[in-house]
């Protein structure tokens, strides 16, 4: 398993968590408990904070994305409080779960996971519009994909992102631009749109509150005004009610399983404190 880079490491016990996760799986055939299956079930049951970066390295290794993930962590200079490395990891892990649920091909899975990793690359954290943020994300992905760049990162370089996969990744990534300009059409677009809006499912109250305090900081950086805790919480609840539509069967099923209405109310209560 690929180790973390030291910096950007978010959960140092993530590998241990993956190794012990099989104890909680409901299966009579130990041979079926693969590393992929363990990670899939952990993400499915909202164990993102425990999985963290180690799980993403594992997935990247299996999909041939290690060099690209390494580029992301070494060159993402964003200091955004919400649109951070942790958010990118959550979105990418959710994309992986969505790909499993929807039975995507390996190429499609690679596309949507990579789009999840890079969708907020070098995000401005509210200083610039999302037009600029998306341009930065596409530029970062493009630079990471350039053979000369990737060759310099690995002595064992071999191209593992085909031209059509790169183009599909860009097309998938840009569907996350907000304000939303078009409906997601492909299953990869549907999955990443859903995955990008799943941050409220975070089960750790402290992590959830820190994430949304980060979003508040970014919003106040964008607009010349301050919000009280109640104002921000009410605004987020209204935004989620008005703007969240689940597109994939995976996203719809998750909203039913974890009760999206209860999830939104929990976020409101946590942020109102």
Q: Where are the domains of the chain?
A: 14-24+32-272
| Amino acid 273: pLDDT | 84
Q: What is the 3-state secondary structure (H, E, C) of 43-91?
A: HHCCCHHHHHHHHHHHHHHHHCCHHHHHHHHHHCCCCCCCCCHHHHHHH
Task: Select from 191, 234, 195 the least CA-distant residue to 212.
Answer: 234
d(CA 273, CA 271): 6
Sign, CA torsion 139/144/147/149: positive
Q: What's the number of CA atoms in the CB half-sphere (13 Å) around residue 78? A: 28
Task: Select from 12, 111, 107 the least CA-distant residue to 52.
Answer: 12
Residue 43: exposed, middle, or buried by beta-carbon count in 10 A (0-12, 13-18, 19+)? buried
Measured CA angle at 11 (ends 37, 85), to 5 deg: 95
End-to-end CA distance of the chain: 40
Contact 199, 218 (CB under 8 A): no
| Amino acid 2: pLDDT | 33
Measured CA angle at 264 (ends 272, 190), to 5 deg: 140
Q: Omega of the bond prior to 124 within 30 degrees of 0, cis?
A: no
d(CA 242, CA 64): 38
Return the structure tokens found at 100.
């499993």
| Amino acid 30: pLDDT | 45
Please list the pLDDT of the chain residue by residue as tens digits (273 residues). Answer: 333 333 233 333 444 444 443 444 444 444 434 667 777 777 888 777 778 898 999 999 999 999 899 999 999 999 999 999 999 999 999 999 999 999 999 999 999 999 999 999 999 999 999 999 999 999 999 999 886 566 666 666 555 677 889 999 999 999 999 999 999 999 999 999 999 999 999 989 999 999 999 999 999 999 989 999 999 999 999 999 999 999 999 999 999 999 999 999 999 999 998
Contact 178, 222 (CB under 8 A): no
Domain 14-24+32-272 sits in CATH at: 1.10.1300
CA distances 63 to 42, 66, 103, 272, Å, are 18, 8, 15, 41
How far out from the chain centre does Cα 253 lie?
Answer: 18
| Amino acid 160: pLDDT | 61
**Burial readout 77-106 (b: 16 or more C-beta within 10 A, e: otherwise):** ebebbbbbbbbbbbbbbbbbbbbbbbebee
């Amino acid at each position: 398993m690929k180790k973390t880079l030291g910096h950007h490491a978010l959960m140092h016990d993530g590998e241990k968590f993956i190794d012990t996760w099989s104890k909680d799986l409901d299966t009579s055939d130990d041979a079926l408990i693969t590393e992929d299956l363990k990670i899939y079930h952990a993400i499915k049951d909202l164990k993102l904070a425990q999985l963290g970066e180690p799980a993403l390295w594992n997935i990247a290794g299996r999909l041939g994305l290690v060099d690209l993930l390494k580029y992301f962590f070494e060159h993402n200079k964003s200091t955004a409080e919400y649109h951070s490395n942790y958010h990118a990891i959550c979105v990418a892990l959710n994309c992986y779960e969505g790909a499993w649920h929807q039975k995507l091909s390996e190429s499609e899975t690679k596309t949507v996971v990579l789009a999840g990793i890079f969708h907020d690359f070098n995000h401005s954290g509210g200083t610039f519009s999302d037009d600029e943020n998306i341009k930065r994300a596409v530029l970062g992905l493009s630079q990471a994909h350039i053979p000369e760049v990737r060759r310099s990162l690995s002595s064992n370089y071999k191209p593992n992102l085909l031209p059509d996969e790169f183009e599909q990744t860009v097309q998938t990534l840009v569907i996350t631009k907000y304000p939303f300009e078009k409906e997601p059409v492909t299953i990869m677009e549907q999955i990443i749109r859903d995955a990008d809006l799943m941050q409220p499912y975070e089960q750790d109250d402290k992590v959830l509150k820190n994430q949304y305090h980060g979003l508040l900081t970014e919003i106040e950086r964008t607009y010349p005004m301050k919000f009280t805790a109640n104002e921000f919480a009410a605004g987020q609840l209204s935004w989620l009610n008005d703007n969240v539509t689940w597109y994939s069967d995976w996203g719809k099923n998750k909203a039913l399983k974890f009760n999206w209405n209860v999830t939104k109310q929990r976020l409101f209560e946590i942020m109102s404190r």
